[in-house]
Amino acid sequence: MKRGLVIGKFMPIHQGHIALINFAATQCDEVIVSMSYTAQDPIAPELRFSWIKEIFQHSATIQPHSIQDDFDNESLPWTARTKIWADVIRKVYPRIDILFSSEVYGEPFAQNLGAEHQSFDPDRKLFPVSATCIRAKPFSHWSYIPEVVRPHFVKRVCFYGPESTGKSTMAKHMAALFNTEYAPEVARELLTSNDFTVEDIIRIGHAHTQRVLDKTKKANKILFCDTDLITTQIYSRHYLGVVPPVLYELEKTISYDLYFLFDVDVPWVSDGLRDLGGNRNEMLEVFTSELKKRNHPYVLVHGTWEERENLISARLNSLD
């Protein structure tokens, strides 16, 4: 039996890693994919490991494992450094016959393991990408990010503010413009009037949170969200005089990369649910203060429809 080894942080795993691992699988009866991790990693180890397992779930040859990296010494030259690695690997895994890598440490590590070394695309000609580049500029390297990993790098954009300011229309419009998904205001699907209960508002909070999570999995780089849980809290306080604690917990579930606060400098239009046309400036202050309390930066959206669209598009085109 010939056993191969591929090591890495896989932060995140990308198409270059996948090609390396698949190549190893063509050369061996078993390939151990060893993911190292520390408590300081910018992407949670559990999440990274779940990506690896999902990608290779149908391959009996490829065996994912994880190992805590509490033994490395980056100050040492590669020969001495990889000797430490090899000592640990021999204790943790069965005998390794071939080490597969694209890195400069490959040859000394293999020698310390007493294994053959096979290099794969060391010059990054087939896959000109690295995990560091992906973390820094995911949109620029989107094609190298596996589908299961992409939701982690989706930017969630919240269109936020008082009623009748064009958020819903703009969210749908921008999603079409950027060829992606949008999460509508779920409250409009569940309510027919403003006569609702605490139980209703809790149901809305859960439903809206789940909708955003589901849409994130399908989004292409950006997800446009029509309102958020802060909005649900504001209307709960206004109409019911209370905010159920669960709404604050649900708020922590989802973070937004960018808030667009919609100004009230457009005509108010009644639609059966809207009834705060006479309190627009007051409501704008409420919405603004909630963002400031949380130190959420925001972009104020104002002007004509064209001016609003141009403002939003310009800001979004700077994302990466």
**Alpha-carbon Rg for the chain in angstroms:** 25
Q: Are residues 301 and 180 in the same domain?
A: yes
Judge whether 31 and 5 are in contact, CB under 8 Å. yes
Q: Are residues 170 and 296 in the same domain?
A: yes
**Structurally, how many domains does the chain consist of?**
2
Q: Are residues 54 and 108 in the same domain?
A: yes
Q: Are residues 278 and 179 in the same domain?
A: yes
- Measured distance CA(211)–CA(186) in Å, rounded: 8
In DSSP terms, 158 is beta-bridged to 225, 259
* 185 falls within a domain: yes
Per-residue tokens: 77: 């030259």
Q: Are residues 161 and 308 in the same domain?
A: yes
Judge whether 184 and 54 are in contact, CB under 8 Å. no
pLDDT for residue 137: 96
pLDDT means per 10 residues, the chain with 320 residues, are 97 98 98 96 97 97 97 96 97 98 96 97 93 96 98 98 92 97 89 79 96 97 97 93 97 96 85 60 94 97 96 93
Q: Are residues 29 and 94 in the same domain?
A: yes
Q: Are residues 130 and 162 in the same domain?
A: no
The whole domain housing 28 covers: 3-144
* 149 falls within a domain: no
* 258 falls within a domain: yes
Report which secondary-structure segment, H or E, holds 93: none
Q: Which of 102, 120, 144 is the C-terminal boundary of a domain?
A: 144
- Give every CB contact of residue 241 below 8 A, 6+ residues apart in sequence: none
Q: Are residues 102 and 173 in the same domain?
A: no
pLDDT for residue 276: 58
CATH of the domain at 306: 3.40.50.300
DSSP E strands, 54-95: 62-68
pLDDT for residue 42: 95
Count the alpha carbons within 13 Å of 43 in the hemisphere toward its beta carbon. 21
Residues shown for the chain: 320
Q: Which of 113, 144, 175 is the C-terminal boundary of a domain?
A: 144
Characterize the bridge pairing of strands 98-101 and 62-68. unpaired
Tell me if the bond preceding 12 is cis, omega within 30° of 0: yes
In the chain, helix, strand, coil percent, each to 5?
Answer: 45, 15, 40
- CA nearest to 41, candidates 132, 110, 116: 132
